[in-house]
Amino acid sequence: MNSRILPLIGLACLLLLPASCTTRKKVERHKSAETLRPGSGPAATTRKVTKPTPPSVGSNESMYVVDIQNQQNRPIARAKVMILTQRPEEAYMATPRQKTIAWNYRTPLHGRAMAKLEADGLPKFLWVGGEGFDAFLVDIPNASPNLDFRKIITVEIKTIVHLVVEDAQGMRVANGLITLKPNREGPAPRRSSGNLRTTRRTDDSGEVKFTRNPGEYTLIASKENGSCRLTQVFHVREGGGVTTIRLPATTPK
C-alpha cells in the first residue's frame, strides 16, 4: 500500500470514532443568584468569588457601593437592595412604593451592589430586605457630585415561614388575617419598622410568608372579616417549609 495513503486512513478512522470514546473537559457553568434553588430566600455564598470593580464616578454622578454579608463575612446572594427617594412609611416598609424607588437590585453570588445615580443633591435612603430579612434602612449621604460611598452591611438571614390557609372545607382563604407573634420577645438585632409587624394578609392564593427566627410563636388566623378564628402555638424550625393551616367552621367560644 502506498505510504502516503496510510496517514490518511488513520485520520479517517479517528474521525469515525463515536463521540463517547473521546474525552472532553467539562465546562462548569455557574447559575445566577436568581436561579439557585428557585423559591428560596437569600443565601450565603460558600465558594470563592470575585467582586466587580466599581466604575469611575463622573462630576455629575453619585456612586453607592454596598457589600451584603453574613456574620461569617460571607457574601449574601439574593438580597434585595433599593435606593429610595423618600423614607418609607410604616405601611410601605416591607415593600416600598414603586414611585419612590430610584434604583432596585438583587445581589448575585458576590453580594455586591453598585448604584450610579444622577448627582441631584437630594436625600437618598438605602433599603435592604426581601424574604429572609427584616427590612431596614441604612443611612447614606445625599446624591452629591463625585460621591463615592462604600459600606459593608452585615445581615442575619432568618427562616422563611410559608403558610397556606384553608377554610373548614379545604378551600384557600384569600385576604385572610394572619398573626405570627413570638411568645417571648427578645432583643431586636436591629431597630427597624420591619421588626414591629406581626400581622399580614394572605394573597389571592391563600398564602402568606413571614420572616422569623426559630422558636415558639402564637399563630392567630381568620378569614377577611375576622370569622372562623384559629389560635394555636406554632413552632418555627430551621429550614422553614410550607405549612397548611385549616380554619375551623366557626370561631371557638
Domain boundary, last residue among 112, 133, 154:
154
State the cell numbers at 243.
405549612
- Say how far apart CA 24 and CA 230 lie, in whole Å: 60
Could you tell me the pTM of the whole model?
Answer: 0.65
Reported as a single tens digit per residue, the pLDDT across 42-52 is: 888 999 999 99
- Same domain for 114 and 167? no
33 belongs to a structural domain: no
- Same domain for 133 and 181? no
**Which stretches of the chain are DSSP H helices?**
5-15
- Say how far apart CA 112 and CA 126 lie, in whole Å: 14
Tell me the mean pLDDT in the region 92-111: 93
**Number of domains forming the structure of the chain:** 2
- Confidence at 125, pLDDT banded by 50, 70, 90: very high
8 belongs to a structural domain: no
Considering the chain, what percentage of its residues have pLDDT values greater than 90?
60
Q: In what order do the strands lie in the sheet with 177-182?
A: 199-201, 177-182, 215-222, 230-236
| pLDDT score of 71 more than 50 | yes
- Say how far apart CA 22 and CA 107 lie, in whole Å: 39
234 belongs to a structural domain: yes
143 belongs to a structural domain: yes
Mean pLDDT across the chain: 82
| pLDDT score of 157 more than 90 | no
- pLDDT score for 247: 96
Tell me the mean pLDDT in the region 168-188: 83
22 belongs to a structural domain: no
| pLDDT score of 126 more than 80 | yes
- pLDDT score for 5: 55
CA dihedral in degrees (218, 219, 222, 228; nearest 10)? -70
Tell me the mean pLDDT in the region 108-136: 93
- Confidence at 10, pLDDT banded by 50, 70, 90: low
Tell me the mean pLDDT in the region 82-102: 91
- pLDDT score for 35: 42
66: number of Cβ within 10 Å: 24
- Same domain for 64 and 136? yes
- Same domain for 209 and 225? yes
- Burial (CB < 10 A; 0-12, 13-18, 19+), residue 176, is buried
Kindly report which listed range (30-34, 67-71, 102-106) carries the lowest average pLDDT score. 30-34
Residue 244, beta-bridge partner list: 164
- pLDDT score for 187: 45
17 belongs to a structural domain: no
Q: For the CA atoms of the chain, what is the radius of gyration?
A: 26
Reported as a single tens digit per residue, the pLDDT across 183-241 is: 875 544 444 333 346 888 999 999 998 888 889 999 999 999 999 999 999 999 887 78
- pLDDT score for 28: 34
Length of the chain: 253
Tell me the mean pLDDT in the region 98-111: 95
Higher local confidence (pLDDT), 25 or 190: 190
- pLDDT score for 4: 57
- Say how far apart CA 218 and CA 184 lie, in whole Å: 10
9 belongs to a structural domain: no
CATH of the domain at 222: 2.60.40.1120
121 belongs to a structural domain: yes
Domain that holds residue 231: 159-246
Q: Are 212 and 190 in contact (CB under 8 A)?
A: no
Tell me the mean pLDDT in the region 86-107: 91
- Same domain for 148 and 181? no
Domain boundary, last residue among 121, 154, 187:
154
Domain boundary, last residue among 122, 154, 186:
154
Tell me the mean pLDDT in the region 144-153: 97
Q: Are 147 and 116 in contact (CB under 8 A)?
A: no
